[in-house]
Structure 1
Amino acid sequence: MKKTVLQLLLVAVTTVITSCEKYLDKQPDELLSLQVTFSNRQYTENFLYGIYNYIPSYNFWTGEPFNGIADDIDITWNRGNYPTYAMNLGNWGPTYFVVNDNWKNFYKAFRQVSIFLANVDKAPIPAANKTLYKAEAKYLRAYFYLWLFRAYGPVPLVKDVISFDDPTFNIPRNTFDECVDYILKDLDEAYKDLPVKHENIWAGKPTKGACLAMKARLLLWAASPLVNGNPDLKDLKNKDGKALFPQTYDANRWKLAADAAKAVIDMGVYNIYTVKDSKGDIDPFASYKGIYTSQYNNDEVIWGRNLDGGSSLDIDRHCMLRSKGGWNGIAVTQKIVDEFEMANGKSIKDAESGYVENGFSAADTKYTTKGTWNMYVGREPRFYVTVNYSGASWWDGQKAEFFYKGKDGKEIGRDDHSRTGYLLRKFIDPVSDPIANRNRAKLFPYIRISDIYLMYAEAMNEVSGPSAEILTYVNKVRERAGVPALKAGLSKEELRNRIIHERAVELAGEQTRYFDLRRWKMGDEMGGSFYGMAVDLGANATDEKFFKRTEFEKRVFEKKHYFWPVPQGEIDKNQELIQNPGW
């Protein structure tokens, strides 16, 4: 029964693609179609689920390429429907835009939200449901605007416009603050009428917590150096000379972000997910892994997407070992491998960490077996959940072989091989079996409470500097991770850097790193030489030639890449729309 409920939202969304096709596009008989639609409860609800369908793909490679263009993930393939390869080489622009056209799609969604809000009261639906559905529609509109806002910067706000067919429909981009205020308004209005939790397992539907979490995400973005008085953006103006970005730094933006994150925490609804061992202590490996594989009772995820067995298996295939029926497609970089601490909480760069770069281990450890390359021995538990490295044991004891002649290596895999000699592991369910076409439903997290804890810590550090309270929230994340707590005495800058680091490892592969690096104006981290192991070498598991840091790609990040190019087709249609700097 639970699985059926868990799949219900996706089924409804799939159904609406065909059932609503006739009236979602502008037609001469649209008014009649809308009259029919909103005189029937099922059709009305299907219309709403059609808006949900505009949420981009949950994957890492097409609808939301944010993982593969950050510095922690590499997508194996250079294919048309895998845009990150071209983006990382700088081969994209206003007329050659390799990402799915979410600008166009979201403006279609805005129109449909407007239609829904204007007509839902006519539907034969209980008043309480109408109120709830309106709140859901406003949340979705806010989410879509936030998506565009973080990718492109300020965008035109179409508000309650229902038809864009008028050829004279030309509107300029709204300012940064106008966009923030509009998104906040939708989130605040949705918050009032959304439940704390849904009666059934509707993880894909928004709640009060989801509204507050997205508000925190928006306000942290608005406080960050990229947009908070950044002089590099002072010349981005509409054709009438109106500046689109704030011209001066506003320290109070950090306080607003901190307050928004604290509001989520103060709900008391969300908690760090933990699994206890036989002694009653936190099992860091099982706890961190459980965030992504526990199906139902997971209070860490604030908003996510329900994946049925098929959708879940699709993610697993991309991350899975080729020898297990996977595609070796979602790799991690050496950069994020190096970011994970040792079990003692020290950086591998620390001479006292105990880190050893070369050679094979002489004994078994808690997470590794004898003969493991020393680079991977003695690392923090999150490393072993997140990273699949050559020699790592699979659930059944089989070891990954990413060296050239290995079962998961380049020679065997041809184009289906990791270019870095690693794979992302954290999302794979232990019961997944691509060969047998078997998996189970699970939850893909869009935002979770540990992210909020770190948002709050970051914002409060900018407001007032280090404090015991800030360390409490950072250390909640570290305690579950099984690494020592941060101690008092850090400077503001030191604590800021520790929070940046903590976000990198805690949220690795969760589509946050790309936005973090941009908002911190650390885009250079996404350019230059990227390394992995020597995937063109290695005849067997003990061939040391494979275990050598090797450049696999030289990536391009220019100042213009801080904001995506507005599609040229949209500028051609809207004469008031101006392009982002550098494009």
Structure 2
Amino acid sequence: MKRIKLLILSSFLLLISCDKDFLEVKPLDQYSDAAVWSDASLVNAFVNDIYLGQQYGFQLEMLASLSDISMTKRAEVNPILNSEINASYVSVLDPNHWLTSFRNITWNSLYLNIRSCNVFFERVEESGLQGEEIERLTGEVHYLRANFYYWLMSFYGGVPIVDQAYQIEDDFNIARSTFEETINFIVADLDAAAAALPLSGDKARATRGAALALKSRVLLYAASDLFNSNASWTDGYANPELVGYTGGSQTQRWQAAQDAAKAVIDLGIYNLYGGTSPASPQEARENYTNLFLNNGNEEDILISFYDDINDSDWQAPNPGRFYGPNGYHNWGNHTPTQQLVDSYEMIDGTEFSWSGPEAENPYENRDPRFYASILYDGANWRQRPDDVSAADPEGIVQTGFFENADGTFTPGLDTRQSSIEDWNGTYTGYYLRKFIDPSIDHQYETQRLPWRQIRYAEVILNYVEASLELGQEAEAKTYLNMIRNRAGMPDVPADESGEDLMDRYRNERKVELAYEQHRYFDIRRWMIAPQVIEDVEGIRIEHQFGSDDVEYQIMEVQNRNWQNKSYLLPILLDEMNRNDLLIQNPGY
């Protein structure tokens, strides 16, 4: 008899909606087909297992460092950053790479999870199981399948649409659907999910709001220039229908994206955490900091929890240890670039400039989100570990260098020349502050806070972008100012419009959603990657001997190279060899 192995324990620990009574009554990990599909509790466990296929943040490697806002120290990503990947080698995006950070979003992993969704649909229909719980689970699986196809679409464009659970004897040769067909399939799944799901509920499970929010993201991508350029970037690609629309109205697509985002707003059940009227910049900073340091709030639409089930795996999510300063015995990965740091406006809403008077004290009077997101030289952090506290009893980040009387320099505790694990020091002169709980000693403890899959701020920004593209600037400003005001920033200038307003929006999206798995795709769909994927800049800071003077030197710390083929990923040669009908993406 066929048997289905269910990772019930891991599923239920990962999701807060666990059924502890069920675990106590049936502590087994294998059930026959008949047992699974005749018991609603086991069906629930099967769906929980599919949730494990979602992509989580807080990994050893992050998508942010494959964009312009962040830098990872690992050389394994360099082929991606230099457009050197091909159908035989995609570096850390390979399903068999020793780094597991992106394994859930590789081609084969996504299709394995899609198959699990299709198994669910077929078996539930055959079983005759009915009721409110089964309807909810059906909606959740529609959402999950759409989510897996969203990742495929974002990386590859049009992909094979598989809506049945193929058996070993079946013909696996399936042609890629067009980009338009792929979008339509995802949207249909999300519409089905929204119709079946409750309005609200457990934030670790898909709800109607989650389905509508993901729909707004998918339609925003679909309306963007990359997929509406008639493949102009492909240098004569023979199958442009696979990588974008070849007809229809882009304006209508922007209207669909705006409508989808407004549908979430009109639900009236989500709010920006902390409100839009902070009493001071300090309160705004605390609001943005604390947004990510709780187990769910009114801004969260869908979150994913971690637990200690994978503590034996050194690659298991551990943001404080992975990203914190080396002077705290952390690993210092995914350091913010100077390009990101310079994107944070001054508190009065003007741009920061190294040629302006603000350059004398570049870390003063900045957007409160800067202080909640970036650790910089001189930033207050947390108490140092016992073996370091004598050198810095106050817990001040030291990424600068201190001049001695003889003209030599003593490196700060958090530099790559530090006496403390210098190999983990920052190249850029900064560390990531966002997401990290300062109350935890990350050298020994693992942070247990959820990853935000979708939050309301993204939906508002989606609405702003679609409104701008439709020429509705007043409407766009109203909602853009909500995001800015929550952060303690002033309204967009009343006379700002056109390209200046769009640039303001794009910068706002960059800083508001930094490190949340958006920037990699945003710079591609806007087709600005050739301009922003440039050599990474960092900073060297020198504190002058005998005075309070500080010298700031901007420097290049990593070379990068862009080629247009990198708008999409190649389909791996193994997949091409298994399916004669697959057509490769342009440039590969």
> Taking structure 1 as the reference length, what is the TM-score of the superposition?
0.84
State the one-letter code of the partner of 2:415. G
Alpha-carbon offset, residue 540 of structure 1: 9.5
Identity of aligned residues (%): 31
Equivalent-residue separation in structure 2 for 1:462 and 1:126 (angstroms): 44
Retained in 1: the 8 A contact 2:281–2:488? Answer: no
Question: Secondary structure of the equivalent of 1:464?
Answer: coil
1:34-49 alignment to 2 at 5 Å?
34-49=33-48
Please give the per-residue CA displacement for 1:84-129, whole angstroms capped at 9, x wherever unaligned.
Answer: 3442133422111221431001111111111111112566966111
Counterpart selection for 1:554 from 552, 559, 584: 559
Instruction: State the match for 1:175 in structure 2.
Output: 178
| Map of 2:509 onto structure 1 | 503
For residues 487 and 460 of structure 1, what CA distance do their matches in structure 2 show?
17
Give the deviation of 1:236 after TM superposition.
4.1
Provide the aligned length of Structure 1 versus Structure 2. 535
Distance in 2, matches of 1:124 and 1:159, equals 20
Residue 303 of structure 1 aligns with an amino acid whose one-letter code is L
In the alignment, what sits opposite 1:299? 298
Q: CA offset at residue 408 of structure 1? A: 1.7
**Do 2:327 and 2:421's aligned partners in 1 also have CA atoms closer than 8 Å?**
no
Give yes or no for the alignment of 1:51 onto 2:56: no
Q: Which amino acid aligns with 2:443?
A: I
Go from structure 1 to structure 2 and tell me whether the alpha carbon gap of 1:279 and 1:251 turns closer, same or farther (over 3 Å shift): closer
* Separation in structure 2 between the aligned mates of residue 219 and residue 279 of structure 1, nearest angstrom: 36
Structure 1 counterpart of 2:528, which letter?
Answer: M
Q: Does residue 578 of structure 2 align to residue 573 of structure 1?
A: yes
Q: Which moves more between the two structures, 133-142 or 228-237?
A: 228-237
Q: 2-side partners of 1:555 and 1:545: how far apart?
A: 29
Determine helix, strand or coil for the equivalent of 2:557. Answer: strand
Does 2:500 correspond to 1:494? Answer: yes
Partner of 1:378: 365
Amino acid corresponding to residue 433 of structure 1 in structure 2: D
**Displacement of 1:542 after TM fit?**
8.3
Question: 2:14 and 2:438 mapped to 1: Cα distance?
Answer: 24
Contact 1:40–1:123 (CA<8 Å) still a contact in 2?
no
Q: Please state whether the residue corresponding to 2:292 is helix, strand or coil.
A: helix
Amino acid of the structure 2 residue aligned with 1:485: D
State the match for 1:515 in structure 2.
Answer: 521
Relative to structure 1, the CA distance from residue 558 to residue 5 in structure 2 (aligned partners, 3 Å threshold; closer, same or farther) is closer
Paired residue for 2:408? none
The residue type equivalent to 1:131 in the other structure is: E
Amino acid at match of 2:364: V
Question: Cα–Cα, structure 1 residues 243 and 430, in superposed 2: closer, same or farther, change >3 Å?
Answer: closer
Q: What is the CA–CA distance in structure 2 between the aligned matches of 1:427 and 1:195, rounded to whole Å?
A: 29
Letter in 1 for 2:485: E
Per-residue deviation, residues 33-66 of structure 1 (Å, max 9, x unmatched)? 423332344432222122112112323544xx42
Q: Which residue identity lines up with residue 446 of structure 1 in the other structure?
A: Q
- The aligned runs of 1:155-554 (5 Å cut-off) are 155-163=159-167, 165-166=169-170, 168-198=171-201, 202-230=202-230, 231-233=232-234, 235-237=236-238, 245-248=244-247, 250-274=250-274, 283-296=283-296, 298-308=297-307, 314-349=318-353, 354-356=357-359, 358=360, 374-396=361-383, 397-403=394-400, 405-411=411-417, 412-437=420-445, 439=447, 441-467=448-474, 469-534=475-540, 547-554=552-559
Question: Would the aligned equivalents of 1:39 and 1:122 in 2 still touch at CA under 8 Å?
Answer: no
Amino acid at match of 2:458: D
Task: Say which SS state the counterpart of residue 436 (structure 2) adopts.
Answer: coil
1:227 partner SS? helix
1:68 aligns to what?
65
Which amino acid letter does the alignment assign opposite residue 58 of structure 1? G
**CA deviation after TM superposition for structure 1 residue 499, in Å:** 0.6
2:85 is aligned with 1:92: yes
SS of the residue aligned with 1:415?
A: helix
Cα deviation, residue 11, structure 1: 9.6
- For the 8 Å contact 1:406–1:539, the answer to whether it is kept is no
SS in 1 for 2:174: coil
Partner SS, residue 304 of structure 1: strand
Contact residue 530 and residue 562 of structure 2 kept, 8 A = yes
Q: Structure 1 518/575 Cα, relative in aligned 2: closer, same or farther at 3 Å?
A: same
Q: Does the 8 A contact of 1:112 with 1:162 survive in 2? A: no
Change (3 A) 1:203 1:151: same
Distance change (3 Å), C-alpha of 1:84 and 1:301: farther
3-state SS of paired residue (2:470):
helix
Q: Which amino acid is the alignment partner of residue 300 of structure 2?
A: V
Q: Distance in 1 between matches of 2:164 and 2:292?
A: 38
570-579 vs 407-416, greater mean Cα deviation:
407-416
> Contact between 1:236 and 1:243, CA under 8 Å: does it hold in 2?
no
SS in structure 2 of the partner of residue 474 of structure 1: helix
Q: 1:242 to 1:124 in 2, by over 3 A?
A: closer
Q: Is the 8 A contact 1:332 1:387 kept in 2?
A: yes
Coordinate RMSD, CA, aligned: 3.2
- Provide the rounded CA distance (Å) in 1 between the counterparts of 2:155 and 2:168: 23
Distance in structure 2 (CA, Å) of the matches to 1:291 and 1:347: 25
Structure 1 69/525 Cα, relative in aligned 2: closer, same or farther at 3 Å?
Answer: farther
**1:543 shift after superposition:** 10
Cα separation, partners in 2 of 1:541 and 1:204, compared to 1, 3 Å: farther
The amino acid of 2:462's aligned partner reads M
TM superposition shift of 1:133 = 0.8
Q: Report the secondary structure of 2:302's partner residue.
A: strand
Per the alignment, do residues 171 and 539 of structure 1 end up closer, same or farther by CA in structure 2, a change over 3 Å counting? Answer: farther
Q: TM-score, normalised by structure 2?
A: 0.83
State the 1:282 CA deviation: 8.6
Separation (CA, whole Å) in 2 of partners of 1:39 and 1:556 = 55
Equivalent position amino acid for 1:152 in 2: Y
Partners of 1:77 and 1:415 within 8 A in 2: no
